[in-house]
């Protein structure tokens, strides 16, 4: 995992590349006639690279609340050509946001550098596929599926329960042959969590960082930003960047964002003040 992260200790910026027609934030802007537009995708990634992105995170299945499931064949058709194109044209590491074992196998063969699974390798065969790939993995906490996760946002102690879940998943990874050096964790902001849960987890990010594993934080344009600021999705840039900076201050090593340029600029200021090697 460390080879994907900046050696200076600064937070890595992971740029979101949604290869889905129903993403909550971009509404399928990278599709043409119902299919991923590779030329448009390449131009979008070129802009992220120019802005200083560290990792590109490719996702072929929307996991927004209420999203419909995607078939294995459809996810493969969306993701694999994009990963192959990115590995041919760009030097930036490529992460794939997937829970599907067949997709994990295919993107590993296509040259992907990281498996980012919102279900923490819980689907049948996913743990074995991830181990087989030899790739680093990011394990996220959630409950249920996009269609029903909202009713599962019930916790006695959200921080303790999320930590316990992630520790258990890490232990299963280690037992399957995935060493801790290849594992990152993600508290899963917005996944089966309401605003109070999200805020409690954010305040406790130092406890997640204390696990000794890289912590990924993905709050960009999410509902918690909208609820805090009373802003629609298209007006959540400032809140998203503010949370990214706070996450970096609390020990997050990977920031998964839509707005790469703004986040990189803000981090340059933070890192200059903290005396961390500048971005780029």
Give catalytic residues, as residue numbers: 222, 256
Phi-psi region of 66 (alpha: psi -120 to 50; beta: other; left: phi over 0): left
The first and second tokens of residue 143, run together, are 């409950």
């Amino acid at each position: 995992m460390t080879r994907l992260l900046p050696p200076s200790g600064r937070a890595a910026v992971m740029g979101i590349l949604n290869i889905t027609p129903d993403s909550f934030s971009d509404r399928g802007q990278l599709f043409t006639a119902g299919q991923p537009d590779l030329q448009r995708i390449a131009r979008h990634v070129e802009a992220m690279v120019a802005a200083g992105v560290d990792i590109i995170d490719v996702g072929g299945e929307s996991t927004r609340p209420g999203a419909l499931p995607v078939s294995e064949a459809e996810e493969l058709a969306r993701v694999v050509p994009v990963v192959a194109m990115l590995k041919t044209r760009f030097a930036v590491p490529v992460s794939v946001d997937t829970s599907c074992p067949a997709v994990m196998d295919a993107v590993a063969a296509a040259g992907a550098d990281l498996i980012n699974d919102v279900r923490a390798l819980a689907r049948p065969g996913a743990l074995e596929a991830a181990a087989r790939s030899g790739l680093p993995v990011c394990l996220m906490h959630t409950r249920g599926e996009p269609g029903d996760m909202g009713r599962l946002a019930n916790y006695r102690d959200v921080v303790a329960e999320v930590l316990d879940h992630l520790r258990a998943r890490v232990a299963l990874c280690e037992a399957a042959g995935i060493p801790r050096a290849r594992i990152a964790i993600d508290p899963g902001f917005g996944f089966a969590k309401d605003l109070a849960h999200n805020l409690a987890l954010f305040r406790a990010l130092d406890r997640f960082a204390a696990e000794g594993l890289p912590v990924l934080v993905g709050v960009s344009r999410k509902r918690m930003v909208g609820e805090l600021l009373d802003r629609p999705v298209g007006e959540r840039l400032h809140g998203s960047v503010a949370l990214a900076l706070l996450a970096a201050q609390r020990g997050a090593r990977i920031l998964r964002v839509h707005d790469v340029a703004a986040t990189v600029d803000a981090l340059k200021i933070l890192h200059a003040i903290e005396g961390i090697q500048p971005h780029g």
